[in-house]
């Protein structure tokens, strides 16, 4: 008997005055019942589409800046984004902790705990965005740029971009928080709609502000930061309104007070902090990798090639992989909440198969058509193109390993094991690639190909460790809960 038939039978068996008590379950039961491939795909495809469209918008920014400002503008956006990621990923760790709790509580059909968790994550994120990220990021931006780039032209383009991005990050944080909560509760379509709206707004604002229109002057690289801040701010404000007014599968709680709940916040950090440290480790590793790229004889050309090939084109792999990572986390977490660990295990394996198919297809494109892909971004300088082609062909193989690694990372994090991915990332994304670059620089002559192969080595190790640790199965026994609110 289907769910809808069961619901109709229940309604017909009730007296008329009791029919209003029978209602459809708030959370989607197909996540913990029915075909696994469908459950994983239901969460994954909207996220993948959202990531793809948002990433396309980033590509448009790079195309506009590359053609109007030049490759130093691309390099400026690339290094600025890498610096911003170090901070934003740490703050976003709160949302990983939130997602662990929301998925478990949604799987157990505990709506009150879901909403308490979401509201406390919102309070914490807003405080950090306004009182930490904005002022600290603004004043530290010049020093951070000095560390990752020696090119004065790149730094001049990057400074206003980075300061604006830090100062107005609150909208982006609220969007991330809202999207993570909705997906973990089983609703991936609403975040997709929010992401599409934000991307369209961003695209319109950036086209106008980067190149100018009528009385609006040409802001160049800075215009990309202004447009993104406007778009994320509008979507963030709408998300707050919807969670306050109700109607989504998650929202702000009623009747339990609006002050911080330190018990819930401690749980957010308990599960989220390892992910935050992991994010910092990975992105500090990325910044240090940029410093190695910046030390090359052809530093500006290599940074431009890296900004396009790795942060933009390789995103075609990470968009799908991150979507599958989120799906693996949500489905695994909800099934653990429903006390179905074997189904959680199978769901992560299913997500990994999807990821491998997607990355293999894109790898063929990267390997055989790199020059055509780089040309879309206005890459015409012979030195930049040569380095970019070299990197693209290495990334064709790297994508196979990172896509599998990310899905198993999602499985570990969704189960509540956020510490293992931290240790894996430190070894694979920091120690190994940076160690290779350091050794070659100390005892030989560092070339771009050495850096690209070091990145590939890190991805291979991350894949092997992630799969091995997940299959050990220690995550099955992790307890996730918060105290019940007293009446």
Instruction: Determine the pLDDT at residue 218.
Output: 86
Cβ contact 51:319 at 8 Å: yes
Cα separation of 346 and 461, whole Å?
Answer: 23
Instruction: Determine the pLDDT at residue 295.
Output: 84
Cα separation of 127 and 134, whole Å?
Answer: 10
Instruction: Determine the pLDDT at residue 342.
Output: 95
- Domain ranges within the chain, ordered by starting residue: 34-476
> Which two structure tokens, joined as six digits, stand for 24?
């459809």
Question: Which residue, 348, 336, 68, 351, is CA-closest to 212?
Answer: 68
- Contacting residues for 424 by C-beta, under 8 A, at least 6 apart: 409, 462, 465, 466, 469
Instruction: Determine the pLDDT at residue 117.
Output: 94
Give the chain's end-to-end CA distance (angstroms, integer).
38
Task: Tell me how crowded residue 341 is: count the other CB atoms within 10 A of its CB.
Answer: 16
Instruction: Determine the pLDDT at residue 9.
Output: 43
Cβ contact 28:187 at 8 Å: yes
Beta bridge partners of 213: 216
Residue 132 carries which DSSP code?
Answer: I
Cα separation of 439 and 102, whole Å?
Answer: 44
Beta bridge partners of 388: none
pLDDT by position in tens, the chain (length 487): 434 434 344 434 444 444 444 445 578 888 998 899 999 999 999 988 877 776 666 666 767 777 767 767 777 777 777 677 767 777 777 788 999 999 999 998 899 999 999 999 999 889 988 998 899 889 988 888 887 776 777 788 888 889 999 999 999 999 989 999 999 999 999 999 998 899 889 889 988 998 888 889 988 888 888 998 999 999 999 999 999 998 899 999 987 778 899 989 999 989 988 988 887 787 778 778 888 888 888 888 888 888 888 877 898 898 889 889 999 999 999 999 999 999 999 999 999 999 999 999 999 999 999 999 988 887 888 888 999 999 999 999 999 999 999 999 999 999 999 999 999 999 998 999 999 999 999 898 899 999 999 999 999 999 999 999 999 999 999 988 887 655 4
Instruction: Determine the pLDDT at residue 460.
Output: 97
- Contacting residues for 260 by C-beta, under 8 A, at least 6 apart: 120, 123, 124
Give buried/exposed letters for 162-179 (b at 16+ CB in 10 A, else e). Answer: bbbbbbbbbbbbbbbbbb
E strand or H helix at 31: none
Cβ contact 419:272 at 8 Å: no
Cα separation of 347 and 327, whole Å?
Answer: 9
DSSP readout, 303-320?
A: HHHHHHIIIIITHHHHHH
Instruction: Determine the pLDDT at residue 315.
Output: 83
Question: Which residue, 384, 399, 214, 231, is CA-closest to 308?
Answer: 384
Cα separation of 119 and 191, whole Å?
Answer: 17
With the CA atoms of 247, 12, 2 and 99 taken in that order, what torsion angle do they form, in degrees rounded to the nearest 10? 30
Instruction: Determine the pLDDT at residue 21.
Output: 43
Q: What angle is formed at CA 289 by the lines to CA 288 and CA 293, rounded to 5 degrees?
A: 115
Cβ contact 250:185 at 8 Å: yes
Cβ contact 63:377 at 8 Å: yes
CA distances from 356 to 24, 352, 456 (A): 36, 6, 16
- Contacting residues for 179 by C-beta, under 8 A, at least 6 apart: 50, 191, 194, 195
Cα separation of 250 and 102, whole Å?
Answer: 9
Task: Tell me how crowded residue 376 is: count the other CB atoms within 10 A of its CB.
Answer: 14
The tokens 């319109």 sit on which residue? Answer: 204
């Amino acid at each position: 008997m289907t769910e809808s038939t069961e619901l109709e039978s229940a309604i017909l068996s009730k007296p008329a005055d009791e029919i209003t008590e029978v209602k459809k379950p708030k959370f989607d039961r197909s996540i913990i019942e029915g075909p696994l491939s469908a459950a994983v795909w239901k969460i994954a495809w909207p996220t993948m589409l959202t990531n793809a469209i948002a990433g396309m918008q980033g590509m448009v920014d790079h195309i506009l800046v590359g053609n109007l400002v030049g490759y130093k503008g691309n390099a400026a956006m690339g290094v600025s984004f890498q610096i911003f990621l170090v901070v934003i990923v740490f703050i976003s760790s709160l949302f990983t902790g939130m997602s662990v709790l929301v998925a478990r509580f949604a799987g157990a059909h505990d709506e009150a705990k879901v909403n308490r968790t979401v509201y406390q994550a919102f309070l914490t994120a807003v405080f950090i965005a306004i009182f930490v990220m904005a002022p600290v990021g603004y004043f530290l931006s010049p020093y951070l740029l000095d560390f990752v780039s020696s090119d004065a032209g790149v730094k001049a383009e990057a400074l206003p971009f980075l300061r604006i991005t830090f100062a107005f990050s609150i909208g982006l944080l609220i969007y991330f928080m809202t999207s993570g909560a909705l997906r973990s509760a089983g609703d991936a379509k609403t975040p997709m709609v929010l992401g599409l709206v934000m991307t369209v707004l961003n695209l319109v604002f950036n086209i106008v502000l980067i190149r100018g229109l009528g009385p609006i002057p040409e802001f160049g690289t800075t215009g990309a930061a202004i447009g993104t801040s406007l778009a994320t701010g509008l979507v963030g404000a709408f998300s707050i309104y919807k969670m306050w007014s109700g109607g989504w599968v998650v929202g702000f709680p009623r009747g339990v007070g609006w002050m911080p709940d330190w018990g819930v916040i401690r749980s957010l950090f308990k599960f989220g902090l390892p992910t935050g440290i992991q994010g910092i480790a990975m992105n500090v590793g990325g910044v240090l990798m940029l410093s190695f790229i910046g030390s090359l004889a052809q530093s500006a050309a290599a940074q431009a090639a890296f900004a396009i090939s790795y942060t933009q084109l390789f995103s075609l792999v990470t968009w799908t992989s991150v979507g599958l990572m989120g799906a693996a986390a949500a489905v695994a977490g909800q099934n653990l909440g429903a006390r179905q660990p074997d189904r959680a295990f199978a769901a992560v394996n299913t997500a990994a198969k999807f990821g491998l198919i997607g990355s293999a297809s894109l790898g063929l494109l990267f390997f055989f058509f790199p020059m055509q892909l780089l040309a879309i971004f206005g890459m015409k300088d012979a030195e930049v193109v040569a380095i970019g082609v070299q990197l693209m062909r290495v990334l064709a193989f790297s994508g196979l390993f990172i896509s599998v690694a990310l899905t198993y990372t999602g499985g570990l994090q969704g189960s509540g094991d956020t510490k293992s991915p931290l240790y894996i990332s430190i070894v694979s994304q920091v120690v190994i690639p940076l160690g290779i670059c350091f050794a070659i620089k100390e005892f030989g002559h560092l070339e771009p190909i050495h850096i690209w192969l070091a990145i590939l080595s890190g991805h291979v190790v991350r894949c092997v460790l992630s799969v091995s640790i997940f299959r050990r199965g220690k995550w099955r026994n992790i307890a996730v809960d918060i105290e019940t609110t007293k009446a």
